[in-house]
Structure 1
Amino acid sequence: MKLSTKGRYGLRALIDLAQYSGNEPVSITSIAGRQEISERYLEQLMALLKKEGLVKSIRGASGGYVLAKDLSEISVGDVLRALEGSLDPVECSGLNPDEGCKAADVCVTKYVWQRINDSINQTVDEMRLDQLVEEQKRMGSHDMQGQTDCKN
């Protein structure tokens, strides 16, 4: 499974928003500047996150974005699914009886694919935004600038 820039940049942007918002909206310009992400691209990502109920937009001169839920209620899985869609690296029709896989009754590989899919989903669902913000603080940096070098 390989995540696109939507997932990678969107997660970085949401961590940034969580770090800097408090009770005040954070502007696209400030997030984009700290994270070295194009404002235009970031607007697209925020629209997807808003559609899924993860962020709210505040209009006006001091407007921007705030989290729509508490940090502890937002999982990495929520963010990645909002931006990427399904995280299952393998789509196997044998796992869904309605898809009519002819080999479903005799194919054991479907169990491999199911375990891989379940593992990935469980891992990202267990990680919460509040944990990532705390980890970022422990790392001694209040922003994630420079992470573009590690392809994040």
Structure 2
Amino acid sequence: MRLTTKGRFAVTAMIDLALNAQNGAVKLSAISERQHISLSYLEQLFSKLRRAELVESLRGPGGGYVLAAPATEINIAQIIAAAEDCLDATQCSSKADCHKGSPCLTHELWENLNKTIHNYLSSITLQHIIDRKSAGHAQVVDFTHTHIH
């Protein structure tokens, strides 16, 4: 399992958007400059984020992107799911056919890891990250005290 640059950059761009959208739509070129992400890459990512209904595009003068929902309602798992093709620790894409048509010895281990990661990322909203950043914490989010089953 790997979290690719797609997922990482999508989360970074969405945090930037959330931080800067109070004054209206945000241009991708501004996010590109602030976060050092290529504009063409951001255009591809925001196309996926728009299809996932996480952002809305506004046309015309002063146009750009805004969040499609409040930052309290958008979680990191949603962003990564929109950007990544798949975030899966199993070898079989969770089909349980990894060992000659049946689950391998470690299938349940990797499947549980998938669930743990998803639950963790679902528990963190854009607003959590913004609040931590506003409070001046060096660590973006520390939810290690959260117990996920």
**Where on the TM-score scale, by shorter chain, does this alignment land: which range?**
0.7 to 0.9
- The structural deviation recorded for 1:81 is 0.6
Letter in 2 for 1:115: N
What are the superposed Cα offsets for residues 47-101 of structure 1, whole Å, 9 maximum, x if unpaired?
11001000000001110000001111111000001000332221437x5479996
- The structural deviation recorded for 1:32 is 0.9
- 1:127 equivalent to 2:124? Answer yes
Determine the C-alpha separation between the residues in 1 that align with 2:137 and 2:111: 38
The 1:102/1:31 distance shift into structure 2, 3 A limit, reads closer
Aligned pair count reads 138
Letter in 1 for 2:81: R
Per the alignment, residue 18 of structure 1 pairs with 18
Contact 1:58 1:64 in 2 (8 A): yes
Contact 2:10 2:45 in 1 (8 A): yes
Per the alignment, residue 62 of structure 2 pairs with 62
Secondary structure of the 1:65 match is strand
Determine the C-alpha separation between the residues in 1 that align with 2:128 and 2:27: 23
- The structural deviation recorded for 1:12 is 0.6
Determine the C-alpha separation between the residues in 2 that align with 1:74 and 1:110: 30
Per the alignment, residue 102 of structure 2 pairs with 103
What are the superposed Cα offsets for residues 28-47 of structure 1, whole Å, 9 maximum, x if unpaired?
11111111111111111111
Matches within 5 A, 1:71-82: 71-82=71-82
Tell me the C-alpha RMSD between the 2 structures.
2.3
TM-score by length of 2: 0.82
4+ residue runs over 3 A deviation: 95-104
The 1:111/1:66 distance shift into structure 2, 3 A limit, reads same
TM-score by length of 1: 0.80
Unmatched segments (≥5 aa) in structure 2? 139-149
Determine the C-alpha separation between the residues in 2 that align with 1:101 and 1:139: 52
Unmatched segments (≥5 aa) in structure 1? 142-152
Determine the C-alpha separation between the residues in 1 that align with 2:128 and 2:13: 15
| More helix, by proportion | 1
Letter in 2 for 1:103: S
